[in-house]
Amino acid sequence: MPLTRFRLTLALLAAGLTLACGDSGTDPNPDGTERPATSFEIVQLSPSTPVYNDSVSFYARTTDDAEGIIYFQAPGGGRGEKFARIRIKKGSLLARPDGSPFAANDSVLIVMRMTGPRDCQVQLTPSGIKFTSKDPAELSLEYLGVTDFNNDGKIDASDTAAQQKLAIWRQENPGEVYVKIGTVKIDSSSELKAQLTSFSRYAISY
């Protein structure tokens, strides 16, 4: 192959690879995207994977790590895999809802509850609490057993497309807009994770 033609071929290949990488990284809903509550689709858990407990409460302390978990129900009726988990690290607590800082050895009651029997959405309280940006709280939500991701009653290619775009979205108060937040998606465990510096409602959507 002549040298000039060889160089042209390499240039075209390089251009093609660059375009392919650029297209694959395009996200139609980047972090910060807002969606009205009236047109927001919350992913629904499958009827075949009910939860074992729909809420959990625990005390978070400035001196210790703490966590609360909502579990799926196991086939035999006991506690199964986790559905939702909130983890708060030692030193993560920053300020109470009234703005007053947490002092050494302080504690606060944390409550996480589902907003509906099948909603992949949880409400975390107390609302207005603040966590440090260095050690934020960590929320994980799992969509184990979900196949109808767009809630249209059919399992088809649109569900596959929706699954690929899953993320955690935040809603400050009922009826307000949902905002997409930074999410880590772990396909092997059907899990989404997000770091939180405050509490509100958090849902899985696409």
Beta bridge partners of residue 56, listed in sequence order: 112
- State how far the alpha carbon of 187 is from the alpha carbons of 85, 163, 164, in Å: 17, 10, 9
pLDDT at residue 13, rounded to an integer:
33
What domains can be seen in the chain, in order of their start residue?
33-205 (2.60.220)
Q: What is the rounded distance in angstroms from the CA atom of residue 122 to the CA atom of residue 57?
A: 13
**What residues in the chain have per-residue pLDDT under 70?**
1-27
pLDDT at residue 2, rounded to an integer:
43
Distance from CA of residue 160 to its chain's centroid?
Answer: 18
pLDDT at residue 19, rounded to an integer:
29
Residues in CB range of 132: below 8 A, 6 or more apart: 91, 92, 93, 94, 197
Q: What is the rounded distance in angstroms from the CA atom of residue 52 to the CA atom of residue 67?
A: 17
pLDDT at residue 23, rounded to an integer:
33
pLDDT at residue 21, rounded to an integer:
30
